[in-house]
Amino acid sequence: MLKRYGKLILYLAAALSMSLPVVSCRSTSHNTHTYRPYHERRNRGGHTNEDNTTDKTDKKRPPSGEHYLVSAEWARLEIKLDRKDNKELYKELKQWLGTPYAYADHTIGVGTDCSGLVMEVYQKVYKIKVQRNSAKILEENCKTIDLDDLREGDLVFFITGSENRVSHVGIYLKENKFVHASTSRGVVVDDMRQNYYATHFYAAGRLIKKK
């Protein structure tokens, strides 16, 4: 009897270990940065956010479905804003939500890509002109900042392709949320802790105001 229960315990232990979430972390160098996952950079004290990224996603493409990890209020940007929040920014972004993805376009309600969205929003809200390419925006228009310093209106950059270069950009809001032009879903709100974006995160940047 004891022998049979011992085997059962071993089987249960093996099954439990196979069901634990696995978060892949890869590190490649690019300029002066180290390409490390968002949740790893965000938590320097040794803590992780694996409890927020338990759903495994295909790292070759953004996950499908309705705004993973994002509440209905965030998905529609129908949220209560604080006095310090830039209401003009939220108003402008809300108009862009649902705009289909279209490479090299930047027309509200018609089509846009990620850098086109950033270019238009920054021109309208901040009266700042930025480059028409996500990598060039980081290189020529931004200074890199620490994740703990991220604030509303800053930019977040990702390496999503096979080449070791920035290929995607979004506008940070707050509470880990950012707006971007997804190739599969158009302009949406997503969560930085989502497995796909966490593992492809590259850097955070703040626009440099040129004199």
Q: What is the pLDDT of residues 139-176, one digit of tens each?
A: 999 999 999 999 999 999 999 998 899 999 999 999 99
> Tokens for 153?
């209106």
At 30-82, the pLDDT tens digits run: 444 555 677 676 654 433 333 333 333 334 455 555 567 899 999 999 999 99
Given the residues 39, 106, 142, 180, select the one marked as catalytic. 180
At 36-47, the pLDDT tens digits run: 677 676 654 433
Residue 168 known to be catalytic:
yes
CB hemisphere CA count around 188 (13 angstroms): 21
H or E element that contains 204: strand 201-207
SS3 content of the chain, % helix, strand, coil (to 5): 35, 20, 45
H or E element that contains 114: helix 114-121
Spatial separation of the C-alpha atoms in residues 35 and 49, rounded to whole Å: 18
User: Looking at the predicted structure, is the pLDDT value of residue 26 above 60?
Assistant: no
Spatial separation of the C-alpha atoms in residues 27 and 195, rounded to whole Å: 16
Residue 142 known to be catalytic:
no
pLDDT score at 210:
75
Given the residues 106, 114, 142, 200, select the one marked as catalytic. 114
Mean pLDDT score, 132-144: 97
Given the residues 39, 106, 142, 168, select the one marked as catalytic. 168
Domain count, the chain: 1
Spatial separation of the C-alpha atoms in residues 211 and 209, rounded to whole Å: 6
* CATH assignment of the domain containing 137: 3.90.1720.10
Are 203 and 157 spatial neighbours (Cβ–Cβ below 8 Å)?
Answer: yes
Mean pLDDT score, 112-120: 98
Q: State the Cα torsion 181-183-184-186 to the nearest 10°.
A: 30
Question: Which structural domain, as residue segments, surrounds residue 19?
Answer: 2-207
Residue 106 known to be catalytic:
no
| φ, ψ of residue 9 in degrees (nearest 5) | -65, -40
Q: Is the pTM of this model over 0.85?
A: no
DSSP 8-state secondary structure symbol assigned to residue 152: T
Which segments of 91-167 are extended strands (E)?
106-107, 111-112, 142-145, 155-158
Are 68 and 55 spatial neighbours (Cβ–Cβ below 8 Å)?
Answer: yes
